[in-house]
Amino acid sequence: MNTHHITETTIEAPANLPVIRMTRDFCATPAQLKRAHLDPDLFVRWIGPDSLATRIDIWDARDGGEYRYVSSRGDEEYAFRGCFHSVSGDRLVQTFTFEGYPDGVSLDSMWFEELGEGITRMHIQSLVDSFEARDGMLASGMETGVNEGYTKLDSLLATGAV
């Protein structure tokens, strides 16, 4: 069994680029991970921190399609939107905007690397327009949401829901 896989998300921000890079290993196939990111019924079950519930307002997961979802806790709501640029092959490319900071658009690329023995490494790169925007994303609590969300995805994968 492969014992050298990443069980928490590694989040890196190179000093010389306005980029965030995330890497995480899953006991899953690339097809399962892609489906978890594109199927709205699955997506709402794992995205974000444990304290938030998510609903889909718009979801058109195809090249040129758009999405909008809202995560809430009590009376607090956080809306996110973007466009799917490419959903074909082994790579997903989309834009991402937190509506609370509408000028902060990132271009996100995701790809999957099969490591063997049932393990797939997911890579995500988010390119933003400034170091300030990148640092704001990092300071927003993003790490908690990413790690708690992917832990929920691990559970869905383990139970065969994906």
Encode pLDDT of 55-114 as tens digits.
Answer: 999 999 999 999 999 999 999 999 999 999 999 888 999 999 999 988 889 999 999 999
Count of alpha carbons within 13 angstroms of residue 105, beta-carbon side: 7
Check if the beta carbon of residue 97 is closer than 8 Å to that of residue 107: no
> What number of residues does the chain have?
162
Q: pLDDT, tens digit, for every residue of 108-146?
A: 999 999 999 999 999 999 999 999 999 988 988 889 999
- What separation in angstroms does the CA of 130 have from each of 82, 87, 98, 100, 105? 18, 26, 15, 17, 10
Residues 89 and 139: their CA atoms lie apart, in Å, by 32
Quote the pTM value.
Answer: 0.91
**Please, which residues have CB within 8 angstroms of residue 151's CB and are 6 or more apart in sequence?**
none
Q: What pLDDT sits at residue 1?
A: 42
What is the phi-psi region of residue 141: left when phi exceeds 0, alpha when psi lies from -120 to 50, beta otherwise? Answer: left
Q: Quickly name the fold that domain 10-158 has.
A: Alpha-D-Glucose-1,6-Bisphosphate; Chain A, domain 4 (3.30.530)
Q: Is the dihedral of CA 19, 111, 87, 51 positive or negative?
A: negative
Quick check: 3 pLDDT over 70?
no
Domain ranges of the chain: 10-158
